Chain A
Amino acid sequence: MPKSIKQLTEAPQRITGGHRLCPGCAEPTIVRQVLMAAGDRPIIAANATGCLEVSSSVFPYTAWKIPWIHLAFENAAAVIAGVEAAYQQWRRKGLIAPDVRYGLVAFAGDGGTYDIGLQALSGMAERWHDCVFVCLNNEAYMNTGVQRSSATPYGANTTTSPAGRVIPGKPVHRKDLTMIMAAHDIPYVAQVAPALPPLWRHLINAAEKAFEYEGPAFLNVLSPCPLGWIHDSSRTPEIAKLAVDTCFWPIYEVDHGAWKLLYKPKEKLPIEAYLETQGRFRHLMRGDQGAQVRKEMQAWVDYKWEQVLKLCGEA
């Protein structure tokens, strides 16, 4: 049952203010909402190296009011798997009451999910650990200064896919990790975003299901990054909504194999409506080459959108 806002606000506050994430960063919003959706079950969080980790745990301070563990960059899924392995033993030994079920959650950026963390993530999913893996997907390695990842969109300007005089940003499309995770046939996969109302609700609902189901769940959450995407810090939820309204970031879930589109824009906006909000695409808004890239981006968005519609039985 989706929780009411009142119920959500009654959940324990598990991450405090005072962390050092940038103003306008979507990550703490996502983390807070995911953890609110977990309800009052005990939570243990693992974190890959990345923005969230370095900004929330600067020794001797911590923003975490729950047990929290960070070991390295590529292994958040293996770390939460290890915690889960111990957790199952505590249950077996009766060290945890039979009616108590923990929520075990891993947070990682797109680097720690799509790229260096993919192997551990795939292994964790295949082994069916009872946990939730949340990708805070800001579409590049923001913590180290905006280097491209395999989640970085085609054409985006990053420090390792710079928009130059010859090459207009990242020369290849991003990979579709949500579908890769859906192909693991795990209980729950969702692609969501911390977007303006009413869309944020789908993020909460997805997180609620992810914690509820036994076995692995994966949430791919688009996470606008004012620093790397180059937008005003006040526009984060709006830009997330534009990502959905342009179908650049369709939000959908795969619940025990059932594909469901969570939101279908009344009017599918052209990709430019999204691109023009962000400095990382600024070079695409001028000249013939920019127009060509935008055309290719639109074609790719259309292709992926049709694919999602078909899978969700909406085509």
Chain B
Amino acid sequence: MGKLIPMEGNQAVAEAMRQINPDVVAAYPITPSTEAVQIFARFVADGLVDTNYVAVESEHSAMSACIAASLAGARVMNVTAAQGLALMWEMLYIAASMRTPVVLSVANRALSGNINIHCDHSDAMGARDAGWIQLWGENVQEAYDNLIQAVVIGERRDVRLPVMNNYDGFLVSHSYELMELEEDAAVREFVGEPVYVRPMLDVSNPYTVGALDLWDFYHEHKRGQWEAYGPAKQAVVEVGQAFGERFGRYYGLLDPYYLDDADLVIVALGSTAGTIKDVVEQRRERGEKAGLLKIRCFRPFPLEEVADALSSAKAVAVMDRAAGFGSGWGTVYPEILTALYHKGLVLPTVDYIYGLGGRMILPEEIHQVYDELAQVAAAGGTAEPLRWLGVRV
């Protein structure tokens, strides 16, 4: 049995890393993820883990060393945020292309400029097409649980992809919540021993990694990589189920809340989903059929599942904590529309850009979204499908 203790998100991430005891952690501190690296460095210093902790000189080198160590034959992890993730950008694609199951926890933070250290989703959203599996946690418990599952998902032989464990900067990374910390042995048993696939350190089977790959093969190699995302989606489901069977907390691609009969649905990811759950309960008490669709796995995008989940809604609002500059929308909204269109579903929808750079999102504002959504549903649509929430204009 685990035990209930209060923990911060960064602490929970560091604890999960301690329990997983990865071979190599190459990390560079950056707010708001720094504390996770600090706590883990202390675990190393105190001999609580066997990890070779490489205190690299930049996030670019952090990700480079992680990919190389993974290819050499190591279970590797890393933690970052915002500019750190942006500096890794080149290597993020390479991590996925080289099929390395690197696990990266990201305390989501706004990208510069101007510089801002607080939460939004522009960092991870900017990396959404890099080929990583993206899990999005709502709270401290999920940051912990998702990290443990990430190891198993990424390392599955039919997946072999890097996994990003997203948790909101400060809102989760620095918030104390009561969470269930599982026993070390149980976590280690769940993640199992690492399986090294074609490790370079096995010098008896030399091969060339990262060759020059031109028009005659690159196209096919990208298609090969493409094939991994179906199994990856399946792995997220199966590992979430197995985790539930072992620890009692079940996970899937999506986390619906009062969704089955909901007329008015908000789609969200990250900690705001928690706020929305409270508001949903309040609106339900008033007799309104409000619901939430939390996206836990944004990559691979659960296209069919999202469409199915929204098929009986009367109106849908999407909460976007990153602006897709020049696209006219946030970053999640177009994906939701694609899912609906794919199923032939035509619903009134609204995209809300909110909470950039850590702008507070309050229950009153979620109420506002439901109020507006009710109007949109009644009108059967809106001439104003893109709205900025809580902005002074």
Binding site for B on A (CB under 8 A): 42-44, 46, 53-54, 57-60, 62, 64-72, 74-75, 77-83, 85-90, 92, 95-96, 102, 119-120, 122-123, 126-127
Contacts and interface: CB of A to CB of B under 8 A. Distances in A.
Given A64-B206, A69-B209, A78-B65, A122 B91 contact: no
Given A90-B201, A119-B58, A127-B55, A75 B210 contact: no
Contacts of B183: none
Contact of B211 (A46, A62, A127): A62
Given A57-B211, A72-B91, A120-B64, A86 B206 contact: no
Contacts of A77: 61
A95 B200 CA distance: 13
B289 to A, nearest CB: 51
A237 B111 CA distance: 51
Given A59-B212, A64-B208, A87-B72, A82 B203 contact: no
Contacts of A95: 73, 201
Interface string B64-94: 1111111111101000000000000011001
A85 B207 CA distance: 19
The 6 A-B pairs of least Cβ separation, nearest first, read A82-B68, A123-B57, A82-B65, A78-B61, A86-B72, A70-B210
Identify which of A89, A90, A95, A96 gathers the most chain B CB atoms within 10 Å of its CB.
Answer: A89
Contacts, number: 154
Interface residues of B, number: 43
23 contacts: A42-B203, A43-B203, A44-B200, A62-B207, A67-B200, A68-B207, A69-B71, A70-B209, A75-B91, A78-B64, A79-B68, A80-B68, A82-B26, A82-B65, A82-B76, A85-B52, A86-B23, A86-B74, A87-B201, A96-B201, A102-B203, A120-B58, A127-B55
Contacts of B71: 69, 83
Interface SS of chain B: mixed
Interface string B1-45: 000000000000000000000011010000000000000000000
Given A66-B203, A86-B73, 6 more contacts: A60-B211, A83-B69, A85-B52, A88-B52, A95-B73, A119-B58
Identify which of B52, B65, B98 gathers the most chain A CB atoms within 10 Å of its CB.
Answer: B65
B46 interface: no
B225 to A, nearest CB: 14
Given A46-B68, A75-B91, A79-B64, A69 B201 contact: no
A120 B68 contact: no
B214 A59 contact: yes
Nearest to B221: A59
Contact of B54 (A70, A75, A127): A127
A293 to B, nearest CB: 37
A58 B57 CA distance: 31
A82 B72 contact: yes
A155 B70 CA distance: 44
B46 to A, nearest CB: 17
B68 A81 contact: yes
Contact of A89 (B24, B55, B58, B210): B24
B213 interface: yes
Contacts of A85: 23-24, 26, 52, 54, 65, 69, 74
B91 A71 contact: yes
B201 A79 contact: no
Contacts of A54: 212
A59 to B, nearest CB: 4
A91 to B, nearest CB: 10
A11 B55 CA distance: 35
B58 A123 contact: yes
B1 to A, nearest CB: 30
A120 B60 CA distance: 9
Contacts of A88: 52
Identify which of A58, A69, A83, A86 gathers the most chain B CB atoms within 10 Å of its CB.
Answer: A86
Contacts of A86: 23-24, 52, 68-70, 72-74, 199, 201
B60 to A, nearest CB: 6
Nearest to A42: B203
Nearest to A76: B64
Contacts of B54: 81-82, 85, 127
